[in-house]
Amino acid sequence: MNSQASHYLGDFDSALQALRSEVFSMADMAKHNIDRAIRALVEQDLDLCRTVIADDNEVDEAERRVDRMGMEAIARFKPVATDLRMVISSMKISTNLERVSDHAVGIAKRVRKILRCGEVAEFTYADLLYSMASSILADAVASYADGNVELGASLSERDKELDRAYKRCTNSLSDSLGRSEGNSELYLHLIFILRSLERIGDLAVNIGEDAVFMEAARDIRHGHALDEEPMPENQG
């Protein structure tokens, strides 16, 4: 390999590493925002709500950096096959992470309104769903980091458990809402918080699906099986 080719490949490897590092940083920020949003509810901390809302700007900026880095890598290096899937999947994952952080902001805004309503009696529902959604999200990011196809493909079934828990919790809160006297706003805000946590589970599944596509060239969206034929590779 001549020195020019070696330099070219070195630059491309550095670009991929920088792209992945940016996605990992973004994932840490998004997960941190969810953690703090739920902690604001449990601890009834208004200042923490404000911090989550303000810090979402950093996640938005990170998404823009990932998009810019990905487009520059495609334009400059014209990657194919596995490398192209890595770039595309990283960009798609960053979009899902930005939406995760948006839900954290939505939760923080709901918590802020709840704290004006009075004492929160049933935040344990949110704590339960948060635990499930946070675990799925952490494993989705791990499947991307490690190229773990089996882990990425397993998240859909766990999300179904989250969906069932969401339905049970919202049914209970709806019953409480029907019996409430002058406190209906609080229950409505809690129901919307649970909805955001359920959506975070969906977004984590999307990340896992992108990780499977990146590593194995298989599209498992919409119920397609992992053992189906991989997509044909364009070797350039």
Domain range enclosing 20: 3-223
Residue 234 lies in a domain: no
| pLDDT value at residue 236 | 45
What's the confidence (pLDDT) of residue 5? 45
Answer whether residue 231 is part of any domain.
Answer: no
Is residue 235 domain-resident? Answer: no
Tabulate helix, strand, coil % of the chain (nearest 5): 85, 0, 15
Residue 79 lies in a domain: yes
Tell whether 203 is covered by a domain: yes
Alpha carbon distance 137, 151 (integer Å): 11
Q: What angle do CA 205, 15, 136 make, to 5 degrees?
A: 15
Question: Residue 99 belongs to a domain with what CATH number?
Answer: 1.20.58.220
CA distances from 89 to 41, 79, 85, 93, 224 (A): 33, 13, 6, 6, 18
Answer yes or no: is 166 within a domain.
yes
* CA angle, 128 then 140 then 20, to 5°: 135
Q: pLDDT tens across 154-212, in order?
A: 999 999 999 999 999 999 989 888 777 667 888 899 999 999 999 999 999 999 999 99
Q: Which residues of the chain have pLDDT under 50?
A: 1-8, 236
The reported pLDDT for the residue numbered 101 is 98
Whether residue 230 is contained in a domain is answered as no
Q: Which two tokens stand for residue 209?
A: 């699906």
In a domain, 232, yes or no: no
Q: Per the structure, how many domains does the chain have?
A: 1
184-216 vs 81-117: helix crossing angle, rounded to 10: 170
